[in-house]
């Protein structure tokens, strides 16, 4: 007589709690939400991954076993689905079909109360990835954004509630704590000083009316535009703030969060946004404080994917001039990604 097959375990989005709803054990152990819910914390380099370890003194702080700095980026993709009414079904689809094209263990799911559109929703959170890893796997992101998402009625941009936050490891900003702090302050100043421009650059400000644009930046408000305020900011004593464009609350854990990023409508949008982030993070390390006031200097040496964003959404939004574009065009570095 044939034995009954074992029932397949279903996956639910609510398995993993975030800052919206942490479970008791994680809260008591002071584990940061970004590392909760993964089987193990991993750092995905260009061709492999490393298992990260938690610092004994600060369980929220992850580090590489070899002591080398992390040069990583972690992304949070907020999605809403039309047509799939049950969140456990959406979770099964994301986990077993779409995420199966990526390296195993890269993604986790969680619920997000701020996602109000669609019949169901999910926030997709990645482990830490290097810039090279993301570029090497652009083909997988293309499948996710431009093939599977539209095929199953999943959107990362349709209702306007969705965003894509990016966490950046401090190692990307320099080799010393002093260099990292200076670059982080400059990036915060750029995001705030050129707020409308950056909202267009990162596709957050895509509304057609002033009220729509205000609604789209509700969770990523402009911060101080005073240069002296940023130059003297104490980075080590900031509470986590999910209402501003640049969240510094996790600085002591080795990362900062860029929140002024909109939902990405398709793969080219995602790729160009990531290339804009990569450029800003690397370029800010080389800028003087006076350079941070000049878009033509900030984007000197960008690649064609970044320039495409500058001459399309940024120009349409009226946040960059023809003269600035002409100056930047002369310095473009060619790149070849999918």
Q: Which of 134, 155, 176 is the last residue of a domain?
A: 155
Rounded Cα–Cα distance for residues 58 and 29 (Å) = 10
Q: Report the alpha-carbon angle 131-227-222, nearest 5.
A: 65
Rounded Cα–Cα distance for residues 171 and 72 (Å) = 8
Q: What is the pLDDT of residue 54?
A: 86
Cβ atoms 224, 157 nearer than 8 A: no
Rounded Cα–Cα distance for residues 127 and 117 (Å) = 26
Per-residue confidence band for 59, with pLDDT thresholds at 50, 70 and 90:
confident
Q: What is the pLDDT of residue 112?
A: 81
Residues 237 and 145 in one domain: no
Per-residue confidence band for 10, with pLDDT thresholds at 50, 70 and 90:
low
Q: How many domains does the chain have?
A: 2
Average pLDDT, the chain: 88
Q: What is the pLDDT of residue 265?
A: 93
Residues 85 and 36 in one domain: yes
On whether residue 6 sits in a domain, the answer given is: no
Decide: helix, strand or coil at residue 187: helix
Closest CA to 34 of 186, 250, 222: 250
Q: Which of 155, 177, 209 is the last residue of a domain?
A: 155
Q: Is 88 exposed, middle or buried (0-12, 13-18, 19+ CB in 10 A)?
A: middle
Instruction: Give the global pTM.
Output: 0.90
Average pLDDT over residues 236-264: 94
Q: Which spans in the chain are helix H?
A: 24-28, 87-93, 131-136, 138-142, 149-151, 177-193, 195-201, 210-216, 227-231, 267-283, 295-298, 304-309, 315-316, 322-329
Give me the percent of the chain exceeding a pLDDT of 90.
Answer: 73
Range of the domain at 27: 13-155
Lowest-pLDDT range of 29-43, 87-101, 150-164:
29-43
Residues 309 and 171 in one domain: yes
Decide: helix, strand or coil at residue 80: strand
Residues 122 and 175 in one domain: no
pLDDT digits (tens, 9 = 90+) for 280-302: 999 999 999 999 999 999 999 99
Range from 107-116, 231-240, 277-286 that averages highest in pLDDT: 277-286
């Amino acid at each position: 007589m044939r034995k009954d097959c074992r029932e397949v375990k279903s996956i639910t989005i609510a398995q993993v709690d975030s800052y919206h709803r942490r479970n008791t054990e994680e809260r008591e152990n002071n584990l940061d939400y970004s590392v909760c819910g993964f089987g193990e914390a991993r750092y995905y380099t260009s061709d492999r991954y490393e298992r990260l370890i938690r610092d004994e003194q600060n369980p929220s702080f992850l580090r590489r076993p070899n002591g080398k700095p992390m040069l990583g980026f972690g992304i949070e993709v907020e999605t809403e689905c039309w047509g799939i009414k049950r969140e456990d079904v959406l979770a099964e689809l994301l986990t077993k079909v779409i995420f199966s094209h990526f390296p195993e263990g890269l993604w986790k799911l969680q619920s997000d109360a701020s996602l109000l559109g669609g019949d169901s929703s999910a926030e997709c959170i990645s482990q830490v990835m290097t810039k090279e890893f993301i570029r090497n796997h652009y083909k997988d992101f293309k499948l996710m954004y431009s093939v599977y998402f539209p095929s199953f009625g999943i959107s990362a941009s349709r209702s306007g509630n969705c965003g894509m936050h990016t966490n950046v490891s401090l190692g990307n900003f320099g080799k010393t704590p002093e260099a990292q702090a200076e670059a982080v302050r400059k990036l915060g100043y750029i995001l705030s000083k050129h707020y409308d421009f950056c909202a267009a650059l990162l596709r957050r400000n895509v509304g057609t009316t002033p009220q729509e644009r205000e609604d789209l930046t509700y969770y990523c408000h402009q911060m101080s535009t005073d240069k002296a305020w940023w130059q003297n900011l104490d980075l080590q004593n900031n509470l986590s703030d999910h209402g501003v464009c640049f969240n510094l609350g996790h600085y002591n854990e080795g990362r900062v969060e860029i929140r002024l990023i909109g939902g990405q409508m398709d793969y080219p949008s995602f790729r160009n946004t990531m290339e804009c982030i990569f450029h800003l993070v690397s370029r800010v390390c080389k800028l003087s404080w006076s350079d941070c006031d000049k878009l033509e200097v900030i984007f000197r040496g960008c690649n064609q994917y970044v320039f495409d964003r500058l001459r399309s959404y940024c120009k349409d939004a009226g946040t960059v001039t023809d003269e600035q574009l002409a100056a930047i065009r002369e310095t473009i570095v060619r790149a070849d990604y999918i």
